[in-house]
Structure formats: C-alpha cells, structure tokens
Structure 1
Amino acid sequence: MSDAAPHALLRPRIALPFLIVALIWGSTWYVITGQIADVPPSWSIAYRFMLATPAMFAVALVMRKSLRLDSKAHALALFIGLTQFCGNFNFVYRAELHLTSGIVAVMFGMLMVPNALFAQALLGQRVTRRFLLGSLVAIAGIALLLTHEAQLARLDGNIPLGVLMAVGGILSASIANVMQANPTGRALPMASLLAWSMLYGTIIDIGFAWSVAGPPVIPSSTAYWAGLVWLALAGSVVTFPLYYSIVREIGPGRAAYNGVLVIVVAMLISTFIEGYEWSLLAAAGAALGLGGMIIALRARQV
C-alpha cells in the first residue's frame, strides 16, 4: 500500500522527474504523427524499441545494475514487454490513424482511473474519497478538452475504431504501470527490469509487425529518423525509468496524473507549432484538469 505523504509531489526527487516526463511525453504525441504516414505503425514501433533496448541495457550497465533476473522476474519483464512496449504502443499508433494526436492525448489523461482501480485490485492500495473527487473534476476537464478537440478536428477515419484503440492503449499501459510496482518488480533495479522488458517487447513487436505488415519498410526521410531517435531515447529510455519510479513512490493513481500535465504541454506545443486554437471551453478544461490533479495528488493514499 502506498504511504506517500500528501505533499510528496513537492519533493524535488519526485517533482523534477514528474515535470521532465510531462515535458517529453507532451511532445511525443505530435512526433508520432510523422511515424505513421509512410511506414506501417507496427514497424515504426519495432524500430523505436530496437533503438531503445540497447540504450536501456547500456544505462543499466553504466549504473552498475545487475542484469541477472530469476524466472519470476523474467516472467514479469515478459508481461511488461507484451503490455507496455507492444500492446500499448500498437494501440496508440493505430488510434492516431483515425483520431488526431490531440484527441488521443486527451483520452490518455483518463489513465488515472484504471491505474487506481488496478492498484486497488492487484496491490491493495486504497482509493480515497479525495482522490475520487479529484478524478471526477479532472475527468470533467478532460471531457471539455475532448469536446473542444472534436469540434476543431477533421476526423476522417473510423472514429469508433480509433476510440476503441485508444482505450486498448490506456488499459495496456495501466496494467503494466501497476504490475511493475508489485513486490517482484519493486525488488528489481528499475533499469534492469526495463531493459529486459524492452527486449521482450521488441521481439514481440518485430514478430507482430512482420505478421500484420509484411517485411520491414525502411523510410528514407531524415525527419522520420530524427523523430524516431527522439521517441526511442527521450520518449522511452529517459522517461520510463523516471515514470515507473514515480509510480512506486506515490502510487499508480497519482502518478497517472502526469497525463493531465502532458495534455497541457501537448496543447502548448501545438499552439506554437500547429496553431492550436484556444477557446473558453479548452481553457476551462485545462483549468479543471489541473485543479483535479491538485486535489487528487493531495490524497494520502491512492
């Protein structure tokens, strides 16, 4: 059970990673759109983790973390590889074929709900009334942002399928978030667990890509490869150790509130790069989302 103090987020060792993750992941939603235009999504994901995996092993070695895992730990790494580094990303990339990146990012802001429920069911972490109140406020804000995005966006794809894919991504990420914080995961060095998880995920990604999209498609665009490097190194190798550590420190429910901040960062980036159109609806949604986050993060146990 999480016993983090209500003001744990104010501690620099939690607040700084929280902000770094939000800033980086806030940029990745836009970068992903350049990864699915000319290359099958499954191969873009496979390339991402083919690059991220050796980098993650290198991080573990530099940190002098043991890479030896027992069979139970390998089983957990395989599970995280399947759910986080294969299932989650394959759902997300495919969701962006049918929905705008902004809508998918906003939907992911609701990650705190399954995170809290899975944490209660699997880790015995109590969901408090204050957390539920904050979540309701934040979800109301996310609903306003989602409405604003839907009004602005040209949704030419299969919208119900896109929503279904986004929900699949949310659930896949959530179960991985919670399971890595179980007793087996907590006993392992974070870098070592992630290195093996990414390796298993990469192997599954390659097999899945080949089965659904055929032989590899190699893009020639410099922008594509630059985006891939950013997603692999910054968006994966830097952020996942930080985010999973936050999950262990303050609990999966409160850690998922990082997604609300990610939405705001993504919207700010979109304002300067894509000419995002702010409105009273969007401003109210952002304010409610951040307000709900503050209320929930002050809950003692989530």
Structure 2
Amino acid sequence: MNRESNLFVYLMLVGTMALWGGTWISGKMLAGSMGPLSASFLRFLSAAVFLVISAWMQEGKVPRLPLKFVPHTAFLGLTGVFMYSWFFFKGLESIPAGRAALIVACIPVCVASVSAMVFKERFGPLRVLGTLISLFGVSMVLSEGDPLSLLSHGVAAGDLLILGCVVAWTGYSIGGRIAMRHLDPARAVTWSCVLGALFLLGPALNAGLVDDVLRSSFGDWLNILYLGVIATGVSYAWYYRGIRAIGPSRAAIFINLVPVFAIIFAQILLGETVGLAVLGGGAMVITGVYMTNRFAR
C-alpha cells in the first residue's frame, strides 16, 4: 500500500472514530426524549433496515444465515445489541456523555483479559501492567479522583449502567470471535442487528414504544438515523475496510480516539465540562489500552 492510500485509510478510520464518539452525544440527547428500550429498538431497527438494503444492492439478495449459526448470531444480538444499547441509553439518562465514554474506553482491556482466559492467549507482564493501569484509570473516573471513596460510597447507579456496557460488549466481542470462524463480518453484523431488534421489540412495546414514537420530534429522528444508519451501518463498513487494509491490531489503536472525540463534542454541543481528575483517569485508561494492544502476541 502506497503512502497516499495509507493516508486515505487513516483518515477513514479517524472519521469512523469521530462518528463513534458522536454516538455518546446523540445518545445523551435521545435519552432525554424517550425510554431506553424505545431508543434502542428504533436505533437497531434503522441499522438493520439499512444493512439489509445495502447487502441487497451490493449482492442482489439478502445475506443468508444458515440455521446452525442462528445461536451464534442470536448471542451477538443479545449482548451487543439488546444489552449494550439498553445500558447505553439508561446510563446516559443520569451521567454526562464524556464521562460515560471514558468508562467504556476500558473495553479493549477487558476483552483482552477475557480472551487470555478463554482462548489461552499469552498475557505477559507488560500487558498485565497495561490492564492494571487502565482499570485504575477507570476507578479514577468513577470516583472523580478519589478511588478509596469507592470502598465507602460505592459506585453511582449511572456509572454501574455504563459498566454494564463494558460487560455486554466484552461478551459480544468474545462471541464475535467465535462466530467469525464461520461467518463473514458483514453477515454477522447484519443478522445480529436484525435479531437484536427483534429481541428489543417486545420489551420496547411493553415500555411505551408507541407513545414514544408518537411524541418524538424531528430532532429525535435525526438522532435515531445517525445512531442506526451513520454510526452503525456506515461506520462499521469503514472500520472493516480499515481492518482489511492495515490489519486488526493497527486499526484497533484508532479506537483510543473515541473518548477524545466524545469529550470534545460533549463540550461543544452539550456544554459539559470534565474535571482534571477525570481527564487524568481517562488518560490512564487509554494508556493502559495502548499497552495491552501494543504488547499483544
């Protein structure tokens, strides 16, 4: 790959991270307008429709999902769509978008740690150190600079919900690695969105989906389309193009930019401010993530 095409891939990946950083601001806006189950269902319904139409236009048909792989994909829909999105919108009801993005930044470390246990990956001293630094950074963010206070006061409900995002996406990533042995990424993402939206439909209806839709504003629908079409359908395609071009390890490093963009956008669009202690904790999270990925074998 020449320098010019390399530059295009890097710009595409930076653009993807900016879109993902924007999900926290869009999600925060939407969390104030409708319930978390309604917002989750509408987001992934729009993503599923977009992905199915895109596949139809590119391949002339809807990508088939063999029956024997339905359990794999259903697990992805349950963890990466149903659970993650509910925790995402519910948590954003009560905590700032920038703070939430810094907590979720520890996902790569959690995925690496669980992968080491499940897949028996080598986890040397430097990766252990990176994990500890990242987790200590999370404690700094949760406690706003006083980790010992977590022992006496515990973790706030909104922070616990965002930590649920970490658990859900870790499960999705581990399940995705197993599913990718049999399915291509585009097929897995498309069907996990379809099944995840189906999982969300019943609970969303029970929680007032129809009322939320009837009273939703034009701005709400713009946020739904951004989250579903742009930040899921388009950005996933860009990310996988980046993986094909420069490899998964190099592409994954760009994910460290997501909380940076989230904090910048939150300050500009939502007027949020982040304290130095929280920023310091976020820097530790990102440093730990970099070390964990950098010294992977």
Matched position secondary structure for 1:229: helix
CA drift of 1:258 comes to 5.3
- Where does residue 132 of structure 1 map in the other structure? 128
Match of 1:47 among 12, 17, 42: 42
d(CA) in 2 for partners of 1:141, 1:66: 44
Q: Are 1:30 and 2:25 matched, yes or no? A: yes
Farther-moved stretch of structure 1 (134-143 vs 35-44)? 134-143
CA drift of 1:200 comes to 0.6
- The change in CA–CA distance for 1:60 and 1:214 in structure 2 (over 3 A counts) is closer
Match of 2:185 among 187, 190, 195: 190
Q: Write the mapping of 1:137-156 to structure 2, written as runs, cut at 5 A.
A: 137-148=133-144
d(CA) in 2 for partners of 1:279, 1:95: 20
Report the TM-score, using the length of structure 1 for normalisation.
Answer: 0.79
Farther-moved stretch of structure 1 (120-129 vs 68-77)? 120-129
- Where does residue 227 of structure 1 map in the other structure? 223
- Where does residue 117 of structure 1 map in the other structure? 113
d(CA) in 1 for partners of 2:7, 2:105: 23
Q: In the TM superposition, what whole-angstrom CA distance separates every residue of 1:177-226 from its partner, at most 9, and x where no partner exists?
A: 121112x4233222122111111111111112123336452134121111
- Where does residue 209 of structure 1 map in the other structure? 204
Q: Contact 2:88–2:165 (CA<8 Å) still a contact in 1?
A: yes
Percent identity of the aligned residues? Answer: 21
Q: Contact 2:145–2:277 (CA<8 Å) still a contact in 1?
A: no
- AA in 1 matched with 2:204: A
Q: Contact 1:55–1:237 (CA<8 Å) still a contact in 2?
A: yes
User: Unmatched 5+ residue regions in structure 1?
Assistant: 1-10, 151-158
Q: Contact 1:81–1:200 (CA<8 Å) still a contact in 2?
A: yes
- AA in 2 matched with 1:74: V
d(CA) in 2 for partners of 1:225, 1:291: 36
Q: Contact 1:46–1:205 (CA<8 Å) still a contact in 2?
A: yes
CA drift of 1:291 comes to 3.4
- The change in CA–CA distance for 1:286 and 1:79 in structure 2 (over 3 A counts) is closer
CA drift of 1:93 comes to 0.8
Q: Are 1:59 and 2:54 matched, yes or no? A: yes
- AA in 2 matched with 1:205: L
Report the TM-score, using the length of structure 2 for normalisation.
Answer: 0.80
- AA in 1 matched with 2:231: G
CA drift of 1:295 comes to 2.6
Q: Contact 2:106–2:138 (CA<8 Å) still a contact in 1?
A: yes
d(CA) in 2 for partners of 1:280, 1:69: 48
d(CA) in 2 for partners of 1:55, 1:215: 22
- AA in 2 matched with 1:188: L
Match of 1:88 among 81, 84, 91: 84
d(CA) in 2 for partners of 1:167, 1:278: 19
Q: Contact 1:92–1:169 (CA<8 Å) still a contact in 2?
A: yes
Q: Are 1:100 and 2:96 matched, yes or no? A: yes
d(CA) in 2 for partners of 1:42, 1:230: 17
d(CA) in 2 for partners of 1:38, 1:278: 24
Matched position secondary structure for 1:181: helix
CA drift of 1:95 comes to 1.2
Q: Contact 1:48–1:228 (CA<8 Å) still a contact in 2?
A: yes
Farther-moved stretch of structure 1 (138-147 vs 227-236)? 138-147
- Where does residue 149 of structure 2 map in the other structure? none
Matched position secondary structure for 1:34: helix
Match of 2:175 among 172, 179, 199: 179
- Where does residue 153 of structure 1 map in the other structure? none
- Where does residue 3 of structure 1 map in the other structure? none
d(CA) in 2 for partners of 1:18, 1:164: 30
Residues paired across the two proteins, number? 280
More helix by share: 2
CA drift of 1:66 comes to 6.9
- The change in CA–CA distance for 1:41 and 1:265 in structure 2 (over 3 A counts) is same
Q: Contact 2:107–2:170 (CA<8 Å) still a contact in 1?
A: yes
Q: Aligned Cα RMSD in Å?
A: 3.2
